[in-house]
Structures are given as structure tokens and as C-alpha cells.
């Protein structure tokens, strides 16, 4: 104790030094742990960066920033979609739900008016259609009560069928043999098979795709007009498939398979579209270079409807 009293300042200084050494040791140990953790994180980041660089495409490097390029491309795609909206205008339903709730009575009235209008427009355009044809709505033609939950879908299809038929009428085809659509109602189960397609309505992140099939007869220049009209329409039509056959062969086949019966499954006697008379060949006249034949055309058409927000 005497020695401590004599060397008090030395003892105090030694204690303080030991404390500082202990604190320094703890500090160094914690920094060592942090450095190890940082080193581990750096190694993991390096491994991840190497894996990203090995991908195809990679995120880029100091000269090429593929992530920014992808963001720019996504922005340009959104701008392109906005710019093409004018070519994907929705077809109004019949009746239009914007003017009030679609009820059984309201749809029945719109159905009768639209089918009569399509018959009258066909006559005005000199387009032959099967007598009393229901334009794929034969199952609903006489109904006054419809399957619950089906009116909105039926109204959309009625509007779309009307637009499709009017495009065909405008190009002056010779005859419309039939329109086929997707079944959207329990009432469609009782309809004739010739009114429906086997495909289904599909949806992706951008749009809804509704398939239709139309069969008609025309000459080659009229077919070109039909395809051009679908391509230039503002309603987003896509022609998915086309089948062309000589109309004479189709008519003969139908007559052989259904002697005295219906033509094409419409429940009506077969009808013969108007044919162009053969040009007489006079003595010394010009040689016939092109002998135009009436064609039977089947088109698979999809209507593209953009989803809200695209």
C-alpha cells in the first residue's frame, strides 16, 4: 500500500492504460467482424455480378447499360401501344350498356331489329343470304328469356357480328353463307353446330381475342377488298386463316351430300349465287386469257380488344 501511495500517479496511469488497451481491443475486434461481414457481402455481390454478366442478355457494363436500354424499350412499347389505340377501337354492344341496363326485353328488341337490318342491308348491297338467316343467333332468335349472366356477352357478339357483316356487304361479295361465333350462353347449347366455332375467347396481359369464322362467295378482286377492309378497320381485326375453294365444287359437294336438303347447315333449301355469263367467243376474236371463277371463302377472324390501362 505504501508503494501504491508513493507511486499513485503511476498506478492510476497504468490502470487507465490497461482500460484503453482493453477498449482498443474490443474496438478492433468489432471492426474485424464488420470487415469480415463486409468482405462476405462483397464476395456475394461479386458472385452475383459475375452470374449476371454471364446471362444473355447481361445487364451491361460501364459502356453499355442494358437495364436502362430495357427501360427505354419498355417506354417506347407503351408509347407504341398508345399510338395504335386508334386501330383497336371497341365495337359497341347491341344494345349498348352505356345507355342503360341490358334486360331480356331490351336485348330481344335489339336482336330482332339488328337481324332485320342485316337482311335489309344484304338486299340493298345485292348480297345473297340464306332465307330467314339468324346470323349465328338461331338459338336465341325466338327467346324472350335468356340464360342468366349471358346478356352482356351476347350483346357484344351481336354488335361484332353486325360490323363483320357490314364489312362484307361493303365489298359487294356475291353471297354470305354463314357466320360462326363462340358459345357464350347456356342457350347456345341448343343451337345448330353451324353457328359456332370450336375456339375459345382468350386473354393475355394486353388484350382479349374473340374468334369468328365467316364463309362467303365472291370473286378474287372482292376477296382482296375484304382483306383490305379488315386490315384498315379501326376495330382491331386479325385474319388468322383463309381457305379458298371453287364455289362450283363446294355447291356440287353440298348437293351430293344433302340431296333436297339444306345447304351448309342453315335449314334452308340450297341457293345458287349469281354467276357471270360466259363471254361468247366470236370468229377471229381474242383468246380468253383469264376466266374468273366464283370462289367459296372461309375466313377465321379474331377481334382484338385492348384491356383497360394498356
pLDDT in tens, 117-128: 999 999 999 999
Number of domains in the chain: 1
Q: Which tens digit of pLDDT belongs to each residue from 153-192?
A: 999 999 999 999 999 999 999 999 999 999 999 999 999 9
Torsion, CA 216, CA 217, CA 223, CA 228, rounded to 10: -30
- 172 domain residue, yes or no: yes
Asked whether residue 3 carries a pLDDT value surpassing 90, the answer given is no
Between the ranges 10-19, 59-68, 246-255, where is the mean pLDDT highest?
A: 10-19
Q: 185: Cβ–Cβ under 8 A, 6 or more apart, which residues?
A: 139, 140, 146, 147, 150, 153, 154
- 47 domain residue, yes or no: no
Q: Which tens digit of pLDDT belongs to each residue from 196-217?
A: 999 999 998 888 999 999 999 9
Domain that holds residue 215: 85-266+292-306
What pLDDT was estimated at residue 168? 96
- 18 domain residue, yes or no: no
How many helices (H) and strands (E) are present in the chain, helices listed first?
7, 5
User: To 10 degrees, what angle do helices 151-170 and 220-232 make?
Assistant: 130
What pLDDT was estimated at residue 272? 47
What pLDDT was estimated at residue 57? 62
Asked whether residue 129 carries a pLDDT value surpassing 90, the answer given is yes
Q: What is this structure's pTM? A: 0.66
Mean pLDDT score, 98-118: 94
Q: What is the CATH number of the domain that holds 129?
A: 3.30.70.60
- 80 domain residue, yes or no: no
Asked whether residue 138 carries a pLDDT value surpassing 90, the answer given is yes
- 283 domain residue, yes or no: no
What pLDDT was estimated at residue 287? 59
Asked whether residue 86 carries a pLDDT value surpassing 90, the answer given is no
What pLDDT was estimated at residue 205? 83
306, β-bridge pairs:
207
Q: Which tens digit of pLDDT belongs to each residue from 64-82?
A: 677 777 788 888 877 776 6
Alpha carbon distance 102, 50 (integer Å): 60
Do 177 and 217 contact (CB within 8 A), yes or no? yes
- 126 domain residue, yes or no: yes
- 131 domain residue, yes or no: yes
pLDDT band at 23 (very low <50, low <70, confident <90, very high): confident
- 257 domain residue, yes or no: yes
Amino acid at each position: 500500500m505504501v508503494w501504491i501511495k508513493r507511486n499513485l500517479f503511476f498506478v492510476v496511469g497504468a490502470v487507465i492504460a490497461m482500460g484503453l488497451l482493453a477498449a482498443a481491443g474490443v474496438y478492433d475486434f468489432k471492426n474485424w467482424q464488420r470487415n469480415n461481414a463486409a468482405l462476405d457481402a462483397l464476395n456475394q455481390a461479386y458472385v452475383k455480378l459475375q452470374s449476371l454478366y454471364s446471362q444473355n442478355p447481361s445487364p451491361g457494363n460501364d459502356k453499355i447499360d442494358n437495364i436502362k436500354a430495357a427501360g427505354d424499350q419498355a417506354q417506347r412499347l407503351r408509347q407504341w401501344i398508345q399510338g395504335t389505340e386508334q386501330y383497336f377501337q371497341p365495337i359497341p354492344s347491341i344494345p349498348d350498356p352505356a345507355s342503360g341496363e341490358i334486360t331480356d326485353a331490351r336485348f330481344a328488341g335489339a336482336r330482332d331489329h339488328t337481324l332485320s337490318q342485316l337482311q335489309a342491308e344484304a338486299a340493298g348491297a345485292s348480297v345473297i343470304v340464306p332465307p330467314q338467316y339468324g346470323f349465328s343467333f338461331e338459338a336465341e332468335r325466338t327467346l324472350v328469356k335468356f340464360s342468366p349472366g349471358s346478356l352482356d356477352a351476347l350483346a357484344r357478339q351481336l354488335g361484332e357480328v353486325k360490323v363483320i357483316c357490314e364489312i362484307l356487304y361493303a365489298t359487294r361479295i356475291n353471297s354470305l353463307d354463314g357466320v360462326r361465333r363462340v358459345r357464350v350462353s347456356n342457350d347456345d347449347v341448343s343451337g345448330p353446330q353451324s353457328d359456332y366455332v370450336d375456339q375459345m375467347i382468350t386473354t393475355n396481359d394486353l388484350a382479349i381475342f374473340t374468334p369468328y369464322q365467316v364463309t362467303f362467295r365472291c370473286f378474287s378482286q372482292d376477296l382482296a377488298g375484304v382483306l383490305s377492309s379488315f386490315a384498315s378497320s379501326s376495330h382491331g381485326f386479325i385474319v388468322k386463316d383463309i381457305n379458298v375453294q371453287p364455289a362450283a365444287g363446294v355447291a356440287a359437294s353440298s348437293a351430293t351430300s344433302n340431296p333436297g336438303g339444306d345447304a351448309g347447315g342453315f335449314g334452308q333449301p340450297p341457293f345458287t349465287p349469281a354467276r357471270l355469263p360466259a363471254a361468247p367467243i366470236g370468229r377471229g376474236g381474242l383468246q380468253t386469257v383469264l376466266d374468273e371463277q366464283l370462289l367459296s371463302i372461309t375466313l377465321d377472324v379474331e377481334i382484338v380488344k385492348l384491356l383497360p390501362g394498356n
